[in-house]
Amino acid sequence: MIYPIVISQFSKMLGNLLTILDKAAVHAESKKFDVDVLLQARLSPDQFNLMRQIQVACDTAKLAAARLADKEQDAPKHEDSETTLGEIKDRLQNVIDYLHTFKVVDFASAAERRITQPRWKGKSLSGEEFLIQHALPNLYFHVTTSYAILRHNGVEIGKMDYLGALPYKQ
């Protein structure tokens, strides 16, 4: 179930963020303010602003795939230098494209692989623990907080924009 979560669903959620950002741009235009103002908005003075929330959502998805497939050295680098809506949309699309380079077989040993990162100072999680207790809650935290910042600022988006289309069968 790792590929459907980390590749199919994470790329879907980043795509939903692109849709939500387009709605934010329409809102800003109709209210005659610069949409980039929204990228500086935050819910609390000591919480990340919208730009940083999206950057971290991108990194969470990118590094979850890269680490679970043991291909971290191949992951695209991003310098967190975006300042405009167009630039952060490009980064979202770049990560979506990167996710689509993975195949199901890349995750064959992922659940048991030991995963670590520099800030954990030598400690590690199993791939399954990393996915379920770290990557998933972090990805959704930053996507939902991005949504919440825009919602709080009056952008007309709804839960369906966040969830995206569902593959219902009759």
- DSSP label at residue 77: P
- Whichever of 76 and 137 has its CB closer to a copy of itself, that residue is 137
Q: Which among 158, 162, 142 has a CA at the least distance from the CA of 42?
A: 142
Tokens of 3: 């590929």
The span from the CA of 160 to the CA of 69, in Å, is: 31
Cβ atoms of 10 and 139 closer than 8 Å: yes
Which 33-52 residues touch a copy of itself, going by CB under 8 A? 43-44, 47
In whole angstroms, how close is the CB of 52 to a copy of itself at the nearest point?
Answer: 13
Q: Does 86 bind a copy of itself (CB under 8 A)?
A: no
In whole angstroms, how close is the CB of 154 to a copy of itself at the nearest point?
Answer: 7
Which of 31, 100, 103, 152 is in the footprint of a copy of itself by CB under 8 A? Answer: 152
The span from the CA of 93 to the CA of 87, in Å, is: 10
Cβ atoms of 130 and 119 closer than 8 Å: no
Interface with a copy of itself (CB under 8 A)? 1-2, 4-5, 8-9, 12-13, 43-44, 47, 111, 114, 120, 122-125, 128-129, 132-134, 136-138, 140-141, 144-145, 147-148, 151-152, 154, 159, 162-164, 166-170
